[in-house]
Structure 1
Amino acid sequence: MHIVIVDPSRVALKVISGLLTPNGHFVHAFTDSREALVFLADNEFVDALITSLEVQPIAGLELCWQARLLAETRRPLYIIAMSSLHNTRNLGEALDSGADDFISKPPSAEELHARLRAAQRLTGLQRELIRLAETDPLTGLLNRRAFTTRSREATERLGPHSPLSLVLVDIDHFKAVNDTHGHDVGDLAIQAVAAELAKVGGIAGRLGGEEFGVLLPGQSAIHATEVANALRLRCQALLIKGHRGPVRLTCSFGISEWSDGETVEGLLKRADIALYDAKAAGRNSVVTSRTDFVLAKTA
């Protein structure tokens, strides 16, 4: 596990770290609670927080609360409050402030390892539940709700004038694939296109049926157009195993680039309009809402 430990005493940090690292845990130690909170915010791989209640400048109970808000339902984080005063009041306040457990300071090795084994079981279950809630079961990409949430978070992290582009993808004549070859072959086609999208990077999701989205933080519409055209050619080259032989398919693409003050819904809407234009232009095309430019088809 990756564990953040916060305590005002460097000696205490050294002792607790010495109990954890021989068991394969990765320890990140802080005497400053504000620095610890920033580290937690920037590193989603952290599984557990062990914090003394006697820390500064953010008090221990407040740190528990802020860490819990940070994790919310999107991220498993087990929080253990720690104090040399183990009484009912401290225990109740810690649990009410978002902690999952309470331990006396200094902790014994046996107790600390036992509580972390419980933390490992719980965070593992939470991680699996989050995966199931966010993942499209057919493709392994994000589902629509998770894609929209991640997209909104990505736009909130944008700096001034930072580029960000959205690519919407739709399989052409997909109903004909299902009607002619069966839904099992249609599922294989969806999975094949999803696998190509997953190679692009960024944030990829299945938005419903045969439609997908790829958000590209840091990329302009010009770069997104190049990415989409490369994807178009790869999808065009796919051979899907069908009952009557290989099945070929094509995809259409719509692109929008983020504008300051725009909503994610607006970004999606403009890309959707561009995708509609790509369909109207004969499919197997890429259209960007910024320039309304349609790339010529290639063999």
Structure 2
Amino acid sequence: MHIVLVDTSRVVLKMIAALLEPHGHTVTVFTNSTEALDFIETTASVRVLITSLEVRPLSGLELCWSARLLAESNRPLYVITMSSARSERNLAEALDSGADDFIEKPPSPEELHARLRAADRLTNMQSELIRLAQTDPLTGLLNRRAFLSRSQEAAERVGNHGKMSAVLLDIDNFKRINDEYGHDVGDATIQAVARELGTDGIVGRLGGEEFGVILPHRPGTDAEALAGRLRRGIEALRLRGGKAPIRITCSFGVSEWIEGDTVEGLVKRADIALYEAKATGRNRIVTAISDLMLNRAG
């Protein structure tokens, strides 16, 4: 596991790191609690925070609370506090501040490794629960809620004057596929389209037969090019069903980030463009240019 270790004493840091590293753990040490918090925020691989209560400039309790808020429900994080003065009050305050565990300083090797085994079990369970909460079970893509959440995070990084674009797509005549060939074939169709989407950008299944791709820091021309590749790739697919292979097509709506935009606005414009693509013949790409639409076969 990746462990962040925080204490005011470099001797203590060195001693505890020497207990952890031979067991395969990656240990990053800090004497400054604010620097430790910044590192945790930007390093998703961190699974465990071990901090003394007597750290500065954030106290150990403040660091616990801030780290817990940082993790929320989006990432697994196990927090262990340490103190050379073990008391019921210290234990209660640490747990109330978001700590998962409390050990005396310096910790014994046996106790420390036992606590970390518990941390490993819990963070693995948290990671699986997070995956289930964010993933569409049929395709393995992000579900709608996670897709919009990741897109919002990307938009905050992009800022008002940055670049970002969106592609929405919908399987054409999907109800007919379900009605004629059954829901098993319908599910296989959704899975086939999902595989074509790959991992370029933030990719999600928005519901039913509709999918979305957000391309952070990339202009609308990139989104159009991606939509063109996807349209041709999906059109070339053939699925088994009935007496003849089933041909699949999708319609696409594209939009581009504009100054003062929101994720909701970006997605809404792409959705309106997608509706236009459906209404004007399907298996085509429509790009939203402000309030105008550019309709093309791809």
TM class by shorter-chain length?
Answer: over 0.9
- Judge conservation of contact 2:160–2:258 (CA < 8 Å) in 1: no
How far off its partner does 1:202 sit? 1.2
Separation of aligned partners in 1, 2:102 and 2:178: 56
Write the mapping of 1:215-234 to structure 2, written as runs, cut at 5 A: 215-234=214-233
How far off its partner does 1:19 sit? 0.7
1:164 counterpart = 2:164: yes
Separation of aligned partners in 2, 1:189 and 1:181: 11
Match of 1:133 in 2: 133
Match of 1:51 in 2: 51
CA, structure 1 residues 84+260, in 2 after alignment: closer, same or farther (shift >3 Å)? farther
How far off its partner does 1:14 sit? 1.0
Separation of aligned partners in 2, 1:200 and 1:134: 16
Separation of aligned partners in 1, 2:244 and 2:21: 56
Write the mapping of 1:79-94 to structure 2, written as runs, cut at 5 A: 79-94=79-94
1:245 counterpart = 2:244: yes
How far off its partner does 1:75 sit? 1.0
SS at match of 2:55: coil
CA, structure 1 residues 16+243, in 2 after alignment: closer, same or farther (shift >3 Å)? farther
How many positions carry a matched residue from both structures? 296
Separation of aligned partners in 2, 1:130 and 1:200: 19
Match of 2:279 in 1: 280
- Judge conservation of contact 2:283–2:297 (CA < 8 Å) in 1: no
SS at match of 1:47: strand
Match of 1:96 in 2: 96
SS at match of 1:287: strand
Match of 1:111 in 2: 111
- Which deviations, in whole Å up to 9, do the C-alpha atoms of 1:10-52 show, x marking residues without a partner? 1111111111111111111111111111111111121110011
Separation of aligned partners in 1, 2:210 and 2:281: 17
Q: TM-score, normalised by structure 2?
A: 0.96
Match of 1:34 in 2: 34
Separation of aligned partners in 1, 2:11 and 2:146: 43
Separation of aligned partners in 2, 1:5 and 1:144: 36
SS at match of 1:284: coil
Separation of aligned partners in 2, 1:200 and 1:130: 19
Q: TM-score, normalised by structure 1?
A: 0.96
* RMSD of Structure 2 on Structure 1 (CA): 1.2
Match of 1:269 in 2: 268
1:254 counterpart = 2:262: no
Which letter maps to 1:33? S
1:292 counterpart = 2:286: no
- Which deviations, in whole Å up to 9, do the C-alpha atoms of 1:154-193 show, x marking residues without a partner? 1122245211111101001111111111111110010010
